[in-house]
Chain A
């Protein structure tokens, strides 16, 4: 085993669509209603009930296909995937098989294999100490979730590290969110990811034996789970043993990977065309409606932020890939007065750090208030330190920054005479630091700036303080 091993990762993502009703019946989607209250003869599989396709789900499916650059099938059909389980009321899942809604495409260099529509299973609740099926006394079924529209997105095995897999999934999530087709909430299961993982000698064109890691319910767990599986496979290969094709479960609490079923136990789903549904004929009108509904997508938005607004790549990606941040940023920018780059740094740095889940909607700051705040800093009427304090207040209480500054007396010390007195005293108190600054040590100035900022409670402008120190020491001003 001299050759370096390269991980090869493909993702299968299930996305619950944010339609008003279920995939094949008129029941409203459920958000924590009492069990089995969002059900009807169709979604609990009563005898004689028949499915009817949700047109909105097809519309959303086509939008996803457009966003991922897929080929949209002029005709696609549903199949039945047959297996027995209590969360599957009909004994089969209506899904798509060899004629899916969309094929091909790519996102950020990762090729898409297919995108298809299907229905979600119901939810099993295991009553017992562990809450898991093993050791439970009783399992009950809540059919509220059963029949929720799902889109399954399958990538080609084009990812090569856990971090890359995570970043790509974050981009996909941002894309779906921009489309408005799903809540894409991994905690709540509206976005679920499985990963196919294999290793091969770097440079090899053939794929190694893959394992499937099921249902990682956060970006962090996906990254950790895939990393753990890569290490597990690496150890097997380095011990000159064979990786077994199987389906695995990653337990984020213990980091352990356990087998759910092996290839030999793989089920025969006996797929066949669903005779209760007619084929989906994708008409030009449907395509037109999907095209008309397309928003600017995160990748394009990031590119625009870099090109038109001069943001750095990292900042542009951060704001563009998190739709709520990008939207807030653009609304603030539209208020005028703030420099795009400075504003981006405030939104992506200070504001995100102060809000739950990094969502500005979870705070009371308005885009206009933040734009005004950033403009005040740029205009030297507020120091950065004071501006941070103002932002704390705006996040907690809302309001406009001018009022907060006035109420709290946080305005910049523009009284040069007053500030100069403080500067002179601090220099006098620390002649050693002053000497080092004079000698050209750039870091030494911090020993002087710190006490000055403390004394002024941060109201002094840092640049102004530096200018005054150098002036007092008889040095040239620094280049702006």
Chain B
């Protein structure tokens, strides 16, 4: 069994294809582990393998973030208001992956409606980081990241709105790719902020990310107007050097506010990139420091509207404590939403209100445009832009729950790319001690490229990954994630 767990998803798919490994045994191995999950990474686990489907994904089971709709299977987006909700249809991307041979292993825990950076905002309890169970896995796709890092799942699907794939990937020592906006269908993803949400892979290594992502993109989904035809196919990366690759490093996102240990791992990785033949130069992103402020206007504004449908009328939780309409709405939403969701609904409602729209929403949109222009200018000189993924390593449970702004700062380095709609990948680049001392924890290295540059981005990340030799198996040295501690 442990030999199966050692296989990357791509290797497992290969073993299934060559007949060395039985797909049913593969599924059951992971199913049993997911069912014994002690990290609270899963909110639902399949009881048996679905009928086998031959395909390029080789029957390798897939963990899917709770917010993807899966027919007949709980899809709750981490919220009490959707507790027990089973949709009558399946999200396009989950459907495509299942058809290509990645059966649904389970649904993973997340921050409620993807709002959070620690997965502590889940109605179903916080997720533990497999490297240190006293610490958070990051968020909002914390369940997916923890499950992959702990080998409870071979690979997983997450979503990224302002960093929700990349930051938990960084904190859990795995690979996370946020695609170009529009590359993956959003149909069936329970929306947080429509103009930013993108589905992407969370995997053990870059090759797995490329393999899973290769089946997520494709012809545009006629059910998602904002989806696009991906130009060409995603190829498995083979590059081993970075000769001629120009990497820009924005001082705005790699200086102040970054933990020393993270910064040194980041800088060591830049040195490695140079050694592989890349040029590394400073790159200006003058508006990037304003990204977080713009993001926390735009994303809550969209969320305040996207979450209006949770009104107790048609599905999900409804308060029985009211005898008229407004009371029913109020009590249902009061009981059904957690504090962070309510905070963002209020922020967004305010930002869209008559008389405030131009000062908040309108202005934030202009900042967004400026940020996209900064990147466009940057990509005239550079192939990629590199930053630390998160300003720090995994923090302790409860450390930031009472300080929303400190929590929001986790997305400082990832939000600019989200606003610009460009792809970015986080790969583990080393370990660093947390500020208060203790066991060394993973650090993420973020590489961003122009829209639809995923192939070159994955290739460069692969070359770095080979040179870095990061050992993700170290996570399990903190203890068996299927055993109580």
Q: Which residues of A contact B (CB under 8 A)?
A: 41, 44-53, 80, 82, 84, 86, 89-92, 141, 268, 270-272, 275-278
Contact = CB atoms under 8 A, between A and B. Distances in A.
Contact of B305 (A44, A52, A270, A278): A270
Given A48-B87, A90-B308, 18 more contacts: A41-B89, A46-B87, A47-B69, A47-B315, A52-B222, A82-B308, A82-B352, A86-B325, A89-B314, A141-B313, A268-B353, A272-B301, A272-B302, A275-B226, A276-B191, A276-B194, A277-B225, A278-B226
Nearest to B328: A86
B69 A50 contact: no
Given A48-B189, A268-B353, A277-B225, A91 B309 contact: yes
B225 A275 contact: no
B5 to A, nearest CB: 32
Contact of A52 (B82, B85, B225): B225
A125 to B, nearest CB: 14
A48 B225 contact: no
B302 A44 contact: no
B335 interface: no
Contacts of A270: 304-305, 349, 352-354, 357
Nearest to B301: A272
Q: Give the interface SS of chain A, mostly helix, strand, loop or mixed.
A: loop
A275 B302 CA distance: 8
7 contacts: A47-B87, A47-B309, A84-B311, A86-B313, A89-B314, A272-B301, A272-B357
Interface string B177-221: 000000000111111011100000000000000000000000000
Given A270-B354, A272-B357, A272-B361, A50 B224 contact: yes
- How big is the B interface, by class? 35 or more
Interface in B225-244: 225-226
Contacts of A272: 301-302, 305, 352, 357, 361
Given A44-B314, A48-B191, A80 B305 contact: yes
A372 B357 CA distance: 68
Interface centre among A92, A141, A270 (most CB of B within 10 A): A270
A84 B329 contact: yes
Interface in B88-110: 88-89, 91
Contacts of A53: 225
B75 interface: yes
Contacts of A276: 191, 194, 225-226
Nearest to A41: B89
Interface of B: 67-69, 75, 77, 82, 85, 87-89, 91, 186-191, 193-195, 222-226, 301-302, 304-305, 307-311, 313-315, 325, 329, 349, 352-354, 357, 361
Contacts of A50: 186-187, 223-225
Contacts of B193: 275
A91 to B, nearest CB: 2
Contacts of B311: 84, 86, 91
B351 to A, nearest CB: 9
B231 to A, nearest CB: 18
Q: Give the interface SS of chain B, mostly helix, strand, loop or mixed.
A: loop
A48 B314 CA distance: 14
Interface centre among A84, A141, A277 (most CB of B within 10 A): A84
A46 B223 CA distance: 14
Given A53-B225, A90-B309, A277-B225, A48 B69 contact: yes
B302 A45 contact: no
B309 A89 contact: yes
A59 B132 CA distance: 59
A270 B309 CA distance: 15
Contact of A48 (B91, B226, B354): B91
B190 A84 contact: no
Nearest to B325: A86
A48 B187 contact: yes
Contacts of A90: 308-309
Contacts of A41: 87-89
Contacts of A275: 193-195, 226, 302
Nearest to B308: A91
Contacts of A45: 309, 314
A278 B225 contact: yes
Contacts of B304: 82, 270
Nearest to B226: A278
Contacts of B189: 48
The 8 closest A-B pairs by CB, nearest first: A91-B308, A270-B352, A275-B194, A275-B195, A47-B190, A48-B188, A48-B69, A45-B309
A277 B302 CA distance: 13
Nearest to B354: A268
A53 to B, nearest CB: 7
Contact of A46 (B88, B302, B308): B88
A52 B223 CA distance: 6
A51 B221 CA distance: 12
